[in-house]
Amino acid sequence: MPVIASIGTAVPPYIIRQAESRTFARNLFADAFSDIDRLLTVFDSAQVEQRHFCIPLDWFATTSSWEEKNRLYIEHAVSLSRQAAETCLQRAGLSPTDVDMILFISSTGIATPSIDALLCNSLGLREDIVRLPIWGLGCAGGAAGLARSFDLAQAHPNRKVLMIALELCGLTFVHGDRSKSNLIATSLFADGAAAALLYGDRAAESLDCHGPQLIASRSTTWPNSLDVMGWDVQNDGLKVIFSRDIPTLVEQKIGDLCDSFLSAHDLSRAAVSRYIAHPGGMKVLSAYERALDLPADALQHAREILRTHGNMSSCTVLFVLERELAESHQLGEHGLLFALGPGFSAEQVLLRW
């Protein structure tokens, strides 16, 4: 089975503390909501202490065109993705020319040629690199990227697959959007990039790599749920859409969904000792815990990444996985990685150490 050789992560330089975000939001949204102080309690309940952005706080106080936002997206997407990829490859003891395939995952900007093509020059990848850009999976993108990398590594056991998830959520901020969804997003979302290197089983054997194996994956898209999460594409950018019902949907659906996936591989929840969840928000993590009847510390890495980095959309689950890989594991121990995204959809990846 394909194995995960290494993870590399990167964050941009501007750190914004939650108290600063709250003050900014109060000034911006005060005229839109008579009960602004009550709504601002979301900045405390989010349990986010700080977040990283590619632009400073004062950028959010101005109106920017889609053209300007996307120019910044391309510029910072290349540099941040390169940092994550170089860290990932260095940890595996490889150079960029060793990579056979590259997947690029993102939902917060667009580019043609795609960012992976720009990285061919920036990183120094081979001319015969196989490229697969994937757009629009939102917060599920990191898990889906692992799943598709698994498919490719399984189909091509001699190859090394580099997957990069990059999101610059800050650049999607629409200054004129005074909706509650935008207010909540102001308390939660952030920028970051992560890279994962996967080996097909023959490549893993030749390189003597003993990382966790990817055993299986499953994608689920629920019907008639398109309005739960996504973007409303407008002239001034990507207006955020997410439903307040997401935690309720998690409690209703995730337990049966995980049980079905695990049972297809002759496993039950009792056989899973590691849970790697995308931290969509504190309410979502609590809903996961209730739905799966998890112990209090099962999602500690997800909670910590949420506290120190916020929700960076697709790449966040790879930040959580990076922390998980730093732990000690028993041979044969199972892990379940999962995330939710637009569609409304879920991605699950089964791991074994």
Residues annotated as catalytic are 139
Residues 29, 60: contact at Cβ < 8 Å? no
Nearest in space to 186 (alpha carbons), one of 201, 199, 173: 173
Distances (CA, A) of 100 to 94, 103, 124, 206, 233: 12, 10, 12, 15, 34
Counting every residue written for the chain, the total comes to: 353
112/213 Cα distance (integer angstroms): 34
Q: Which two tokens stand for residue 308?
A: 């120190």
Distances (CA, A) of 313 to 38, 48, 106, 273: 26, 14, 9, 25
Check residue 251 and report its DSSP letter.
Answer: H
Residues 314, 145: contact at Cβ < 8 Å? yes
Does the bond joining 344 to the residue before it have cis omega, within 30 degrees of 0? yes
Nearest in space to 164 (alpha carbons), one of 341, 315, 326: 315
Rounded to 5 degrees, φ, ψ at 336 are -125, 120
Ordered DSSP codes for 225-259: -TTSEEEEEETTEEEEEE-TTHHHHHHHHHHHHHH
Nearest in space to 319 (alpha carbons), one of 142, 77, 83: 142
Report how far Cα 342 is from the mean position of its chain's Cα atoms: 13
Report how far Cα 297 is from the mean position of its chain's Cα atoms: 21
Q: Which two tokens stand for residue 352?
A: 């074994």
288/252 Cα distance (integer angstroms): 10
> Which value, to the nearest 10 degrees, does the dihedral of the CA atoms of residues 40, 45, 47, 53 take?
-30
Q: Which two tokens stand for residue 58?
A: 């004062």
